[in-house]
Copies of this chain bind each other. A is one copy, B any other.
Amino acid sequence: MKKQETITVVDVAKKAGVSKSTVSLVLTNSNKVSEKSKRKVLKAIEETGYVYNRDAASLRSRRSNLVAIVINDLTNPYSTQLTVALEQQIRSIGMFAILVSSGESVEQQSELIQRLEEYKVSAYVICPAPGTSPDFLNGLVDKGRLVINIMREIQGAKVSTIIPDNVSGTYMSTNLLIKKGYKNIAFLGGNESISDYHQRLAGYNNAMHEHFQDDALTQVIQSNTTRDGGRKGMKELLNQSPNIEAVVCFSDVIAYGAIEYMKEQQIKPGVDIGIIGFDDLKDSQLMSPALTTIHIDENQIARAVCQELMDANSNARNKVLVGVDLIERSSC
C-alpha cells in the first residue's frame, strides 16, 4: 500500500508557471485565457497526469454534468436500443449519463430520483412509469432540475417532451394495409396505462374510419407489451375473429409474439394474415418474413434530447414530435 499523493490544480499551476485560477479557467474552457497560458497548462496537465476532480468542482460550482436516464424497463429491446443511443450522445456533448431502471413502478421511480438528488444530477431524461403524476415532475422542475420526458407524455407536467409521431405512424401503416386490400384489420397489443398506446391506437382508428363506414371492422385487443403478450393476444384475436385479415401491432415485440403464434397454427404471416409492427428493432429486417414496420430513429430522439440539455437556460418547454418512417418489407 503506497501513499497516493493526489495531483491537484495547484501542482499543475506550479509546473505551468501560472496560478491555480488560470488552470481552473482552462479546465472549464473559458475564453478569457490567453492561448499561451492555455498551451502551458495543457502541457503541464499532460506531464503531471492530473485528473480532474468532479466532486470538488460540483461542490463549489453547484452544478454537475451528470444526467440521469430513468428508463421504464430496460428489458424491452427498444428501450435498450434508445438507451444506448442516449448514453452515447449525452457523452458526446461532454456530459455523463447515469442510468437507472424504474421497472415500471412509480414507487421505485420516486425512490430512485430521491437518491439521485444526492448526486446533484442536473437533468433527468425520463421515460415515466405508468401513473407518474405531473406534480411529481413539476416538483423536480421547481427545484431547478431540467426534466425531459421521452417516449411517454404526462399531461400537465411542465417539462419538455420528446416522442415519436405515434399517430402518424399507425395511420401510415394502417393505410398501407387498406391500400393493399385488407379490410378486417385489428389493432393488437399495449394497454391504456401508457400514453403511446392511445396515440398509436388513434392513428389506427383515424385510418380505419376514414376508409370504412362499417365500425364492425375495427377490432382492438390489449395485451402486455411483451413477446408473450403478443402471442396470447394473437390467440385471443383469432378466437374472437377467425376471419381477421391483418394486424397492426402496438410494437415489434408484440408482432414477434403474434407471428410465433401464427406459425404454430400453420398460419403464414404475410401470406394468410398481414402484420405490421412499430419500432423497427434490429431483428425485424432479418427475420422471416421480414417485418413491415414503423421506423423510429433512436439517434434522432437522442439528438433532440441533447438539444434540450444544451438549451437548458432557455425556460421554454417544448414538445418535439420526431418523425417516423414506414418501412415496407414482406409481412404484408
Contacts and interface: CB of A to CB of B under 8 A. Distances in A.
A286 B118 contact: no
A267 interface: no
B282 A75 contact: yes
Interface stretch (A28-36, A79-87, A304-312): A79-87
A235 to B, nearest CB: 12
Contacts of A83: 74
Contacts of A96: 98, 115, 119
Interface stretch (A18-26, A48-56, A169-177, A201-209): A48-56
B80 A100 contact: no
A75 B64 contact: no
B120 A283 contact: no
A181 to B, nearest CB: 26
Given A4-B144, A59-B56, A118 B51 contact: yes
B75 A87 contact: no
Given A54-B120, A74-B80, A87 B101 contact: yes
Contact of A77 (B52, B55, B77, B288): B77
A265 to B, nearest CB: 10
Contacts of A225: none
A81 B87 contact: no
A200 interface: no
Nearest to A229: B286
A216 interface: no
A84 B80 contact: no
A260 interface: yes
A231 B119 contact: no
Q: Which of A52, A96, A97, A231 has the most CB of B within 10 A?
A: A96
A156 to B, nearest CB: 22
Contacts of A288: 260, 263-264
A227 interface: yes
Interface in A9-68: 51-56, 58-59, 64
A282 B224 CA distance: 14
Given A54-B55, A59-B59, A260-B287, 19 more contacts: A51-B117, A52-B118, A54-B118, A54-B119, A55-B55, A55-B59, A74-B80, A84-B101, A87-B101, A91-B115, A96-B115, A96-B119, A227-B283, A227-B287, A228-B283, A228-B286, A231-B286, A260-B288, A263-B288
Interface of A: 4, 51-56, 58-59, 64, 74-75, 77, 80-81, 83-84, 87-88, 91, 96-101, 103, 115, 117-120, 143-144, 227-228, 231, 260, 263-264, 282-283, 286-288
The 9 closest A-B pairs by CB, nearest first: A99-B99, A55-B59, A228-B286, A55-B55, A55-B58, A98-B98, A52-B118, A54-B118, A56-B59
8 contacts: A53-B118, A55-B56, A55-B64, A75-B282, A84-B101, A87-B100, A97-B99, A231-B286
